[in-house]
Chain A
Amino acid sequence: GESVGLHLPTLSVQEGDNSIINCAYSNSASDYFIWYKQESGKGPQFIIDIRSNMDKRQGQRVTVLLNKTVKHLSLQIAATQPGDSAVYFCAEGVAGNQFYFGTGTSLTVIP
């Protein structure tokens, strides 16, 4: 199977600071990358995605960066809020049908 990993299992940030969550992937054929947020007791929720022909994509308070040279993906959350506390997963899509998820990073926002 594919290997999609997270650099850190946990991350704590002060409210208002920016958060950066990193992810490494292994399959050069992957063409679609997604970040999901999972709150306790709920299913994953889509945050933002990026195609392999892009390096950066911005959403509301979130930015995803893709570095294909080193197979690295990151999620930046601006002005982190208590409601951002959750587990964040990166996922790697191959040919638009198979998906491989990382093991997740638990983000804790300190008020």
Chain B
Amino acid sequence: EAQVTQNPRYLITVTGKKLTVTCSQNMNHEYMSWYRQDPGLGLRQIYYSMNVEVTDKGDVPEGYKVSRKEKRNFPLILESPSPNQTSLYFCASSFSGVNEQFFGPGTRLTVL
């Protein structure tokens, strides 16, 4: 089944404790992106990747890191999480930026 998977789906952590949210797609997509969704703000793009080893900042990259060492994986790293990073996070992928993006199920992160 073609899909985007994210892990974990739910995470509660404390300020400053490094964490990684994994994202994997099995559709051989070149483009991958991370978004955060907050009430009243819609989805905001954090980082995106056009291909392996090619990443760039989105609208709200502060406090986040990403890597794209393999085509299928695009992990989101929070080196020192803060409470303002409490949010619902979505990973998405597509063949290119101007094709249909497939979204993962979301990761709900709470930083205490």
Annotate A80-108 by CB proximity to B: 1 below 8 A, 0 otherwise. 00000000010101011111111110000
Most B C-beta atoms less than 10 A away, residue of A42, A93, A95, A101: A101
A45 close to B (CB within 8 Å): yes
User: Are B59 and A98 closer than 8 Å at their CB atoms?
Assistant: yes
Measured between beta carbons, the chain A residues less than 8 angstroms from B12 are: none
User: Are B98 and A99 closer than 8 Å at their CB atoms?
Assistant: no
Annotate A1-24 by CB proximity to B: 1 below 8 A, 0 otherwise. 110100000000000000000000
B45 close to A (CB within 8 Å): yes
Measured between beta carbons, the chain B residues less than 8 angstroms from A97 are: 31, 48, 50, 56, 97
User: Are B45 and A98 closer than 8 Å at their CB atoms?
Assistant: yes
Nearest CB to that of A94 among chain B residues?
B97
Count chain A residues whose beta carbon lies closer than 8 angstroms to a beta carbon of B. Answer: 26
Q: How far is the CB of B8 from chain A (nearest CB, A)?
A: 15
Q: How far is the CB of A34 from chain B (nearest CB, A)?
A: 8
Count chain B residues whose beta carbon lies closer than 8 angstroms to a beta carbon of A. Answer: 27
Q: How far is the CB of B88 from chain A (nearest CB, A)?
A: 9
Measured between beta carbons, the chain B residues less than 8 angstroms from A42 are: 105-106
Q: With A42-B105, A46-B102 in contact, is A89–B43 under 8 Å at CB? A: yes
Q: Count A/B pairs, Cβ under 8 Å.
A: 66
B82 close to A (CB within 8 Å): no
Q: How far is the CB of A9 from chain B (nearest CB, A)?
A: 9
Which residues in chain B, 17-51, are within 8 Å of chain A measured between CB atoms?
31, 33, 35, 40-45, 48, 50
User: Are B43 and A49 closer than 8 Å at their CB atoms?
Assistant: no
Measured between beta carbons, the chain B residues less than 8 angstroms from A96 are: 96-98
B110 close to A (CB within 8 Å): no
Q: Which 3 residue pairs of A and B lie closest in terms of their CB atoms, listed nearest first? A: A96-B97, A43-B103, A101-B43
Residues of A whose CB lies within 8 Å of any CB of B are 1-2, 4, 31-32, 34, 42-46, 49, 51, 89, 91, 93, 95-104
Known pairs A44-B90, A100-B44 / 14 extra A-B pairs, C-beta < 8 Å:
A1-B44, A31-B98, A32-B98, A42-B105, A46-B100, A46-B101, A46-B102, A89-B42, A97-B31, A97-B48, A99-B58, A99-B97, A102-B42, A104-B42
